[in-house]
Structure 1
Amino acid sequence: MDFRMGMFFILLVATVLMLMIAYLSYRKRKQNEGKYGALAMLAASFYSFGYAFELISVHLDQAKFWLKVQYIGIPFITTFWLLIVISYTGHHFFLKKKVLPFLFAIPILTFIMYFTNDSHYLYYRDLLFDPGLSEPSTFIFSKGPFYWVHTAYVYLEAAVGMGMFVRMYAKAVPIVRKQVLMLIFGASAPWLCNIVYLLSADGNSLDLTPFGFLVTGSIYIWGIYRLNMLRLVPVAYQQVFETMQDGVIILDYDHNLSHVNEAAKGIFEELKAWDGQTQSIAALFASNPQLLAKIVDGEHSESRLSLHKEGETSHYHVKISHIYDKSQNFLGKVLIFSDVTQVVRYQEELLANANQLEELHAFKDKAFAIVTHDIRDPLAMLVNLTDIIEGDLMDAGKEESRIFQEINKKVKDTYWLVENLLNWFRSQRGKINFHPLVWELEPIVRQSAKAMHPRITMKDIQMTVAVQGGTNVYADKDMLGMILRNLLFNAVKYTEAGGHIHVHARRNGTSVTVSVQDSGAGVGREVGKSLFDEMQQGSEPGTEGESGTGLGLYLCGKFVRLHGGDIWYEARPGEGSTFFFTLPTHEAAAGLQRTWKEVDAE
């Protein structure tokens, strides 16, 4: 009796463990495997709890009652366990409503056959009870034909479930394999104990099957808290791994293939025939020794791999990562192959387009060089010739002189147009030479004013220049001349016949302020907002229909800022405009000058 009491308490512990697992399965999981796990453990708890009290029963009716308690769960334990396996391994076809009744047909029939056994004796032919037996069990069973039908069905389910687990283990990634092994070991204990019981010669041998559930409960409790067994859906994890678009190869610590997904098999033909046997990665990458060297010897790395298949070249980004356990022990490596073929092709197209653009830029540079030498230089010569001829015609008739002044004006307009276009292009490319030196301002201003002489003569405009002698600036002479000519050109353009223009310069500390004042129509407020910062889309015609490109004042703004100066204007509509710009003296130039990049960024 003492031995039986010891077994009684052990079975109660097994019952408590199985109820704990049933509770955890129900609370921690919403998927099918959690639900079926809870039902399987609950059914097993009926078995172990009833058998515990059967062992200490003192009369037949009491023993029969506790045997009935056991059979509330015994017929269904294996079926619920098989449903767990089906859920974990992804065979969801068997979970459909049309299939489930077939799976439960034998268990339900077993339940009915046992509870009606007294009317047909097909489950147990004879059942004797003797509490005085020296054997652990007080029952002597004579098993009927349906007992063996139930037993055969239980072992068939066990074999199918174990087969699913083994197949899943063979294909699973390492993190899933631990959980699969835990489920296999936990389920094996009751079956092994039941086999021992069935093979025993005595009819009243101790049924070890419920004790096997104590092992099951202990393993599953350990798995739940150490491997998060109920927190991960292995089939879902496996499904993610298998359906990844990136190819994944897992190697063990000896650089042998451990696992590959379907995408990796699509990349490497050699992997399609791999049957899971030990194979070195060296055979797979024999044709790519550089990548193989990185895999075998290197740490974490990333590289590019090109493969030629069926006349086409595919490109892959290869990432090599090491796998460590919680104790930082090296377990293996993961190779991830991301298809970047389309990206590489886009890069090649962009490079080809970039080369074409570079060729176009080179052609444009050459075209402007032709403009410079073949158009600008002859125009400059023509301007000089017209100036000379105009002087010779001063004594000629008024009509001839007027016509030639008009020709001279058009030639100079065309020359300044070409000059502005060239300066704009060079500024965009950052190729204008900038060589500032100390220059006396007054001669440069008068030379620029002189260039306006044909225009102001035709429009009868009075121009005065008031620049104090000895006023020096630190500037690029050609740029300064271009700034002055553009400002004077605009003043003449928008000043009515008989008007006046006044050019003035004064020194203010370390800078010189130059102003060009006219008596024209003035600058509109909307136009003036971006006069020096943006290239204008053409310009308003002058008082006598003079045209312009919209480049002049934009270039003035860039050139003044390049010197480190500022440019602005003051205007009242109908009362004329005054344009101002400043240039540094030699003493302040070093701290004010800017680069083309700085000017463009403003």
Structure 2
Amino acid sequence: MAEIPKSDTEIFNNLFDNIPIGVYITTPGGEIIKANRALIMMMGYDSFEELAKLNLEDGEPLKHGYSRKNFRELLEKDGEVIGLENAWVKKNGERIFIRENARIIRDGQGNTFYQGTIEDVTERKNLEKSLIEKENRFRTSIENMLDCFAILEPIRNESGAITDFVFEYANQAACRFSNKTPDELVGGSLFENYPALKAAKLFYFYCRVLETSEPFIKDSFLLGNDSEGLNPQYFDIRIVKLASGIAVTWRNVTEKIKAESTLRISESRYRALASNFPNGAVVLFDHDFRYLLAEGQEIENAGFQRDKVEGRSIKETFSQRVCSILMPHYSAALMGESRMFELEGKNGTCYLVYTIPIKGEMNEVVAGMAMFQNVTHMKNIERELKEINSSKDKFFSIISHDLKNPFSSLLGFSEFLASDFEQLSAEEVKTFAHNIHKSAKSVFDLLENLLQWSRLQTGGMEYSPVRFNIRELADDIFNIYEISAVKKKISLNMDIEGIVEVYADKNMIETVLRNLVSNAIKFTRPGGEVTISACSTDSKAMVCVKDTGVGISAEKQKKLFSIGEKLTTPGTDRERGTGLGLIISKEFIEKNHGTLEVQSEPEEGSEFRFTLPGFRREIKLKF
């Protein structure tokens, strides 16, 4: 058990040190005589001795928000200071708010001292500041809202019955509605400003909310008729009870109701239009983005649920993604602007959407209309036309690319024959004539293949896979390019053991091999090699064209098969090309249910590998 103090001094000192608020004693000159632990800690000092080094007279140590002179004058005049609030600065520079009480005391010798208490009210001050800021934000929001808002207090007679209401507050919208300034409206009674309301039923609802505490919420509330002396008007009204009065918000929706009535009158006409709209759907929507009408053959494919659209908002009808697309165009229509845009519907359908404003008798926008027209078929035709045009462009490019080498051979043989005819023997002339014939036939065959490819692109050609031996086709290709290889001193090697049979369109595969061998020769230096190899399994065959040429960088490999990244790199003998041969080859291989890929390193040659189906039962497919 703690020891009980034995003297009044001990009791005082114990209370002084342990009281939870700051306590001090100073001289009138500002010297700190005594301070308890709560004050020392509050000001951020470590000991009384450190705090006692300060002098309050110069006003700097504690940085009062008031002068020390004024503080002394208050004490000398009244003998005490109660609840003085100011800001002090702690040792570390932190600003705190304090509440101070002080009085004058004297000792037995008549010396004067100031005794005071300090309470840290920083938290309360910050809370008050936050509440004020929130109140200001709330007041600003209320003041600038589009709806009318007012706070009313009841006026009661001697028996306690409500006879009227007085305006305690009215925002700008309420003042504009009343055609009065805030000073004219606030403080005035309800009936002074709106005498006709005495006979209106709305006054009854004001009183009922106040008496029952049940809110009154009503849309399209009809206020006034001839018997009440008011022009009929419609309002959306909200009434809630406050501590002693009521808060009322209202919005005049008379024009909206009239517009909806106009739309209802014209509804049959719009329904007839919508139901006969070709290959599409038509909807009407109001200013709240709520659907008033939905009709048409494509109503469900466009994303609407038949019989569940009318009366629902756009957010209740569509996903957030579709809403984000439609809302800007709907808003534009309600602002008087017509628009046209595309929208993806169900099952890959595409719609061309027209949004237009619907105007009333006074040229005001009363609603919006959206017409959804299914253009999927048109889009497919457009895409097919683009593909056909692309195929046509590739076709003409292929001609210049694939005819170059055969024509070079043809021109070379004929030029040599023409210039050296007299020096040639009959046997040599026959050989040259035979080679010219072979080159001419090769050109003819190539043109035939290109025409077949063109028909394949346009859907007018049969894809006709047949059983054939890759070795035989490779021999034919080497025969075509033998002269070009001899000219560059390049060896043509065949590495195909046994019979490797495939089931593919032979004309297409011939074009592929021709392109790959031609490229291999073009990019191989004199003394190099070009090798065709092949192997097969039960289900597929792999064919490789490998060279010892300049190779291809990784960056260029990414662009080899892209029509948008056409490469035209010169060969080792400055041979030129269009860069379309590999693109065409890849397309042909894929048409034959195979794959084409490349493996290459700069200066280490290249290897092009493609797969084809192995031999199986012949089936003719038409593309």
User: Which category describes the TM-score, using the shorter chain as reference length?
Assistant: 0.3 to 0.5
TM-score, normalised to structure 2's length?
Answer: 0.45
Greater relative contact order, per chain length (Cα 8 Å cut-off, separation 6+): 1
Higher helix share: 1
